[in-house]
């Protein structure tokens, strides 16, 4: 199963000559349909251990790229897992971001079409079905669906079976789509263990060599 994603424009890095914006998480609009709840829960635990000052210092180092409409509405085009984990722990939290793109539209539908053309939307649901219309995107970060395959790939990345590929949009979802096309034992984001042995073997196999982040035998040092 291959994701039918448009060619993408890379996200610009944070500007070095302008201050970051501090924005409430509750006003940020997501640009993807789903997340992996295993990663969300892990990040929630990490945030719970930090003091407010430690959180702010960390978030300043990981600013969120934002798209701003003419009406002042903000869409986040990265950091969905990190910020939802924080929001689950502290619904009133703020984060730091920068405007990666300013659009001359007030209508959210025009904004989403512009982002879709740039390859900055993920329009597949938690079952891998899509692409859905941009209007189907949730309005709030906490309304994103759970995709257990996204959780599974997060675990494979933590074990270094799959390498990061930060320049590839929706890198983990691409891996998830490929694993969906294979046969795995039943599993969920709350219970990944039944699928992990088969997923590790598949991710190390030559059949996955076309995917960014493929490690092959180099990923064999994981469990």
Of 145, 162, 197, which one is at a domain's C-terminal end?
Answer: 145
**pLDDT score of 117:** 94
pLDDT for residue 17: 84
| CATH code, domain with 161 | 1.10.8
Same domain, 87 and 117: yes
Structural domain boundaries enclosing 183:
147-212
> What DSSP letter does each residue of 70-130 carry, written as one string?
TT--EEE-S-HHHHHHHHHH-TT-EEEEEEEEE-S--SHHHHHHHHHHTT--B---TTS--
pLDDT at 220: 58
Predicted local distance difference test score (pLDDT) of residue 221: 56
**Within a domain: 3:** no
The CATH number for 123's domain is 3.90.1530.10
- Does one domain contain both 151 and 141? no
Domain count, the chain: 2
The residue among 23, 3, 52, 8 whose CA lies nearest residue 166 is: 8
Claim to verify: residue 157 and residue 52 sit in the same structural domain: no
Say whether both 161 and 118 belong to one domain.
Answer: no
- pLDDT for the residue 222: 54
The per-residue pLDDT for 2 is 58
Residue 152: per-residue pLDDT: 98
Q: What is the mean pLDDT of each run of 10 residues along the chain (223 residues)?
A: 73 88 97 98 96 95 96 96 97 96 97 95 96 96 98 97 89 95 97 98 96 84 57
Last residue of a domain, one of 145, 169, 192: 145
Asked if residue 138 and residue 52 are part of one domain, the reply reads: yes
What is the pLDDT, as a whole number, of residue 189?
98
């Amino acid at each position: 199963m291959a994701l039918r994603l448009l060619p993408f424009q890379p996200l610009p890095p944070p500007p070095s000559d302008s201050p970051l914006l501090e924005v409430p998480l509750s006003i940020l609009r997501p640009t993807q349909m789903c997340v992996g709840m295993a990663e969300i829960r892990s990040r929630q635990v990490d945030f719970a251990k930090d003091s407010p000052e430690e959180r702010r210092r960390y978030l300043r180092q990981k600013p969120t790229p934002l798209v701003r409409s003419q009406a002042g509405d903000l869409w986040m085009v990265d950091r969905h897992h990190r910020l939802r984990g924080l929001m689950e722990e502290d619904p009133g939290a703020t984060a730091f971001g920068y405007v990666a793109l300013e659009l001359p539209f007030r209508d959210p539908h025009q904004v989403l079409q512009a982002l879709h053309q740039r390859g900055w939307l993920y329009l597949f649901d938690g079952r891998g079905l899509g692409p859905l219309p941009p209007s189907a995107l949730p309005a709030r970060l906490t309304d994103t669906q759970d995709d257990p395959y996204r959780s599974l790939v997060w675990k494979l990345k933590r074990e270094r079976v799959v390498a990061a590929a930060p320049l590839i949009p929706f890198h983990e979802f691409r891996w998830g789509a490929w694993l969906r096309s294979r046969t795995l034992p039943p599993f969920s984001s709350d219970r990944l263990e039944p699928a992990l042995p088969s997923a590790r073997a598949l991710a190390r196999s030559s059949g996955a060599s076309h995917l960014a982040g493929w490690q092959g035998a180099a990923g064999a040092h994981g469990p």
